[in-house]
Structures are given as structure tokens and as C-alpha cells.
Amino acid sequence: MLRSKPSVASMFSLALRSEMFPLIVIFTVTCLGLPASEAGVVRGDGPTVVTPNGPIEGLYLDEANVFFGIPYAVPPVGDRRWRDPVPAKSWKPDVYKAVKPPPGCYQHCGTPPHTCPATVSEDCLYLTVFTPRSATTGSNFPVMLFLHGGNFVEGSGYSDLTDGRYYANKTDTISVLINYRLGAFGFLVTGNGSEDATGNYGILDQRLALEWVQTNIASFGGDPNRVTLFGQSAGSQSVAVHVTSKRSQNLFHRAIIESFPFSVPFKKYFEAVILGNDFAEALNCSHGDLKCMRTKSPADVKGAQDKVGGVIINPLRLFEMFEQWGPYIDGRDITKQSVDAFMSGDFQKMPIIIGSTSDEARINVIGAFPKPMDVLQVYEYLLALFPTHFFQVMAEYPPDPPGSDQREPMIVAANHVVFVCPERAALRGIAKYGDGNVWMYLFDHILSFDAWGPHWQFCVNHSCHGAELAFLFHSAPLGGFKYTADEDVLSRSMVYYWSNMAHTGNPNDDTWRRNNPRSDSVGEFVEWPKYGNSTGWSYMHLMTPRDRADKNYLQEKCDFWDSLDVYPR
Ligand SMILES: *[C@@H]1O[C@H](CO)[C@@H](O)[C@H](O)[C@H]1NC(C)=O
Ligand SMILES: *[C@@H]1O[C@H](CO)[C@@H](O)[C@H](O)[C@H]1NC(C)=O
Ligand SMILES: *[C@@H]1O[C@H](CO)[C@@H](O)[C@H](O)[C@H]1NC(C)=O
């Protein structure tokens, strides 16, 4: 009854099945095209820290120290494939050489050139740490752990884009950039017995990395009691999972959720098992036969993952197509859809920032529908996506004049229903049930340089999904791109707010900077009001030439979507 087999499928899901296949590449543009660089490497003996597992030697860069590719788990290969991760074993008395970027988790990375991991491997549970040159054991610098995006099938912790040296140098924080298992390796579900693959391994990897921070980061000069978990796209979905999971309690203390596609639901158990059974068939194994599935090569696993990538599991929840592999509601780590959890007060109380870019859904719509569309085509999809609200949605988002490319109104509607409006619902839940420390942003700037690469040219002149990443780490210069003077201010303001959050739990509190003679940006940026009724639902409009506090983003549109009750539960 659930798969789009001809006998049961509606005509719309049949129509969608082939054409929606490219949707699996959406949410992958989480990194922009910054070329790799070896700049700034100082040769010679590296910095050495002594951790519980043994000594680690990294590299001195001009601006920071880096420790590349520290193992935080036993390699999840062979019999450990599809098992909960376990902490890495000690290498004492050897010194672990953490001097080159680790492989990414197994994937075919389609993100722009120079942003994908240089190599991939199933043995990939490594993390990279950037520390200030001045860090010593006892420095007690706040820690920022980043979870990368890539639709849970692509991406890696370290890339030039997410390089942590600027934060280390300017903000006295320590960056931790982690890999977690992706695709079928990270999210296969075959059942709920003790010998089954029970999925959410990627999420468990992330939690193990957070635990690694608790036991190890003091050796690097970090403060395990001030850990900020931040992430973009699939990474922000992961952040939300940890914020709403009791099992991740006390492992981090502030959260930043960037560009969460809230209306793309996590799978339910039975849906995840259907996908797992299809996957087993594609591997020529019986349903749930992990013994058989563990004998297959990583390339076979990836091949089977691709083969089931276009199948619509549940025609009643078409938004699921946007994320075939990823977390599912396992009743243990994840008990609710994130927007539902925030709306009903089911989350850990801590300072939280949530935001999005101004044109999030462009890559979904153009990625899924590469050719211009006419009104009839659009109606067909709207009807499939909103069978019970079709006429209301049509009236709220009327087509552009005849002859126009009707993908444009779709891009606007998708931005509202997938990102902005459920985000508002989540923010309002946090404002109502949280500890009062919640902030919203809108990133609204068009890059002056073309970092999108050849496959994402449609994002040139748009503030697409992922656009803020080119500013978040102040990393464009590393890739050979140059910020305009205004863009430099924008990037520094983001670094300012994000690092203040890491230091104090408040993006405005720069007391630590005032007490630090090296620090810049003191008093340079405007106050970011909290999100809430009392501030008129204020948010920070991150833009050039200067950021601005605004109110009530897209109020009428979000009132409309709220009234339809379409967010996932
Ligand atoms: C910041 O970078 C400069 C070189 O650009 C270096 O001299 C300085 O030691 C660095 N400071 C820290 C705290 O890493
Ligand atoms: C396992 O799944 C079955 C449905 O397939 C369900 O009846 C049972 O309660 C589940 N057991 C646990 C421990 O979740
Ligand atoms: C599964 O079997 C088919 C047909 O025998 C074969 O072409 C394919 O390579 C096999 N795939 C795997 C992953 O073993």
C-alpha cells in the first residue's frame, strides 16, 4: 500500500516517481567552491597534546594550530558495519600524527570542486581540531563543534570552507569538525531486534564525538562546559535531533540551527524498514540478512543505495523524497519530528539561534525541475504535495503571468512552507517553553564572487541554501576569493555573534572581547534582539552594507501555512 507500485500509486506519485529522482541531490549544496590551499603551513615539529588515548601531534599554521583526523571511534568496517560506534582505542605510547585531512565517509560527493573530501573511506570516523596558537591545557576556551550538511549522503567535517583557523585566531574558541556515517552506512534500518540494523548510526557517531569532546578537549585547552553545537542543512537537522534528545543531554550547552528544511519529515519506523528491505534486495541479500550485507564492498553498498534512491516510500508524504537517507523516528533517540518537538516544548532548555537564507528552496526546485515549467505542470505537483489544500495554496501563490517560468512562484512557496514558516513555529515553541534565550536570523546577501561552481550557476545572484557558509568561517580568502569591504564586515559580524554565543550563550555579550587586548569588533555591531512577542518577533537581518534588526518576517505567509497545519508530525 505504501510504495508507488502501479497498482496502488496515485497518478501523481507515478508522474513524480521518475521526475523527482533528481531530488535526491537537493540539500547537497552545503559548501561553496573554495579551492584547496596549503597556504599558511609552517613546517617543523608540530604542537603536541597529551590526551587520554595518547599523545597527538598536529601542525603549526601561521594563525592557529590544527590537529587533522583524530580517530574518535573504532573503524566502523567489517563486522562493525551497521553497529553502534564505540570509542577509539588507545595508541599509547606512540604519538598519533594528526597532520593531514582525513578521508570523508564513503560517498560520491557532488558538491562544487575543491569542497568534497579528497578521498573517501568506510573507515572515516575522524575529527579535526583547530586551536589558537596561544592555547594550553587550562586555557578553557569555548568549543564549537560543527556538523556539516549534504543531505546525509555527502560532505565531510573538514573542508577549506569550514576551516577553523580564523575562529581560533580571532575569537579564542576551539573548532571541532567531525565526520559521521552517511547514506546507507549511516542510516540503514532492517528491524528493531538486537541483530538488526537499527539506523541513526550517523547520529550516534555525532554523539560519540560530543562525548569525545567531554573527555579530551581540556587537553587542547578547551572548556567541556561551554560547547556550542552548530550545523547547516542536514547538520542543522542533526543539531535539532540532539537538542530534542534526552540522550544528548549535558554534552553541549548552546545550539545554532542553520537552514533546517523543517517540512521534510524524518521517516517513521515502518517506512525506514521498507527502504531497508528494498536496499537488501538491491544488494542481492534477503531482507534483514546483515551477514550477507556485511560481505558486500563499500562500492556495492553505495550502488544499492543509489538504486533505491528514487523510490517513493509513502505517496502520502512526498516531502520525504527530499531526503531518502537520514534519521528516522526510532522512539529512542528520536521520538518526534523536530518542528513538533519544538512546538510542544520537548527539548533541552539552552540558548538557541535558528535562521535561514532568503532563497533556500531555489536549489530544491531547480534541482528537481531543471527545465522551465508551465502552470499545468506546477498544478500537478501542488496537487500531489497538498491534496487537501490545493485550492488554498493555489490562491495564496497564484501563477506568474502566462509565458513566465512558473518555477519562480514555486521557489517562493517552497521557501515558505519548507523552511521559513515551520522555522517560525519552532522558534515560537522555543520562545514559549525555553529558557528565554532564543534568537532568529535571516541571511540575505548575494555573493560578490562566484563560489557556486559550474553546477549551481542558478544560485549566482541569489542567496541560496548554503550561502551564509562563505561568511560564517571567514574562509573565502583561504580559497582565493576576495570579500568586498562590506562583505568583510558581514563575515566579521557573523563571527562576532557566533563566537559571543560560544563564549557566553548570548550573541551580543562581548565582555570577553573587551577583556582581551587582541580582540577586534568590540562595540562594532548592532544589538540582536531576542525572538519573542515582546520584541515584535525580532530577528537579525544579516546583510550588507550593515546588519539590521527587523521584525515579523513573512507574517501573513506564515499565518497562512500555520493555519493549514501541514508541518510534519
Ligand atoms: C594569529 O595569527 C597571527 C599571524 O597571522 C599570529 O602571529 C598569532 O600568533 C595568531 N594568534 C593566535 C591567538 O593564534
Ligand atoms: C519492533 O517492531 C514491531 C513491529 O514490527 C513492534 O510490534 C515491536 O513493538 C517493536 N519492538 C520494539 C522493542 O520496539
Ligand atoms: C546482484 O545480482 C545481479 C544479477 O545476478 C548482478 O548483476 C549484480 O551485480 C548483483 N549485485 C550485487 C551487489 O551483488
Q: What is the dihedral of CA 429, 431, 436, 437, to 10 degrees?
A: 90
- Tell me the ligand closest to 221's alpha carbon: 1
Cell numbers standing for residue 66: 590544527
Q: Is 108 a catalytic residue?
A: no
| Ligand 1, atom 11, residue with closest C-alpha | 169
122, 271, 360, 423: the catalytic one is: 360
Distance CA 66, CA 84 (A): 28
Distance CA 19, CA 369 (A): 8
Q: Ligand 1: does its nearest atom lie under 6 Å from the Cβ of 62?
A: yes
**Dihedral of alpha carbons 528, 356, 560, 239, sign:** negative
Tell me, what's the pLDDT at 112? 64
Distance CA 205, CA 209 (A): 6
Q: Ligand 1: does its nearest atom lie under 6 Å from the Cβ of 64?
A: yes
Q: Ligand 1: does its nearest atom lie under 6 Å from the Cβ of 139?
A: no
210-233 pLDDT, tens digit per residue, is 999 999 999 999 999 999 999 999
DSSP state of 479: G
Distances (CA, A) of 134 to 46, 130, 181, 287: 14, 12, 33, 54
Q: Ligand 1: does its nearest atom lie under 6 Å from the Cβ of 169?
A: yes
* Residue in 352, 347, 365 with CA at minimum distance from that of residue 419: 365
- Ligand 1 centre to CA of 172 (Å) is 11
Tell me, what's the pLDDT at 113? 60
Q: Ligand 3: does its nearest atom lie under 6 Å from the Cβ of 301?
A: no
Distance CA 357, CA 444 (A): 6
CATH says 48-112+134-564 is which class? Answer: alpha beta
Distance CA 198, CA 188 (A): 7
Q: Is 233 a catalytic residue?
A: yes
Tell me, what's the pLDDT at 114? 66
Domain ranges of the chain: 48-112+134-564
- Ligand 1 centre to CA of 520 (Å) is 13
| Ligand 1, atom 6, residue with closest C-alpha | 63
Cell numbers standing for residue 333: 533517540
| Ligand 1, atom 5, residue with closest C-alpha | 63
- Tell me the ligand closest to 61's alpha carbon: 1
* Residue in 124, 139, 162, 160 with CA at minimum distance from that of residue 49: 139
- Ligand 3 centre to CA of 562 (Å) is 47
Distance CA 185, CA 180 (A): 10
pTM above 0.85, yes or no: yes
Q: From start to end of 41-165, where are the E strands?
A: 41-42, 48-51, 54-57, 59-61, 64-71, 96-97, 104-105, 120-121, 126-132, 141-147
CA 24 to chain centroid: 16
Q: Is 455 a catalytic residue?
A: no
Ligand 3 atom closest to Cα of 284?
1
Q: Which residues of the chain have pLDDT under 70?
A: 1-44, 112-114
- Ligand 1 centre to CA of 133 (Å) is 6
DSSP string computed for 514-569? HT-TT---TTTS---PPSSGGGTSEEEEE-SS--EEEE-TTHHHHHHHHHHT-S--
- Tell me the ligand closest to 270's alpha carbon: 2
- Residue found under cell 594550553: 136
Q: Ligand 3: does its nearest atom lie under 6 Å from the Cβ of 284?
A: yes
- Tell me the ligand closest to 276's alpha carbon: 2
In what order do the strands lie in the sheet containing 64-71? Answer: 41-42, 59-61, 64-71, 126-132, 174-178, 141-147, 222-232, 254-258, 352-357, 438-443, 538-542, 548-551
Beta bridge partners of 177: 128, 146
Ligand 3 atom closest to Cα of 304?
13
Q: Ligand 3 pocket check: which of 281, 284, 292 to mutate, most ligand atoms within 8 Å of Cβ?
A: 284
- Ligand 3 centre to CA of 189 (Å) is 21
| Ligand 3, atom 10, residue with closest C-alpha | 284
Distance CA 149, CA 323 (A): 12
Distance CA 59, CA 44 (A): 8
- Ligand 3 centre to CA of 277 (Å) is 16
End-to-end CA distance of the chain: 20
Ligand 1 atom closest to Cα of 63?
2
Ligand 1 atom closest to Cα of 172?
13
Q: Ligand 3: does its nearest atom lie under 6 Å from the Cβ of 283?
A: yes
- Ligand 3 centre to CA of 190 (Å) is 20
- Tell me the ligand closest to 332's alpha carbon: 2
Instruction: List CB contacts of 162: < 8 A, sequence separation 6 or more.
Output: 31, 146, 148, 177, 469, 473, 475
Tell me, what's the pLDDT at 16? 31
- Ligand 3 centre to CA of 294 (Å) is 15
| Ligand 3, atom 2, residue with closest C-alpha | 284
- Ligand 1 centre to CA of 130 (Å) is 13
- Rg over alpha carbons for the chain, rounded to the nearest Å, is 23
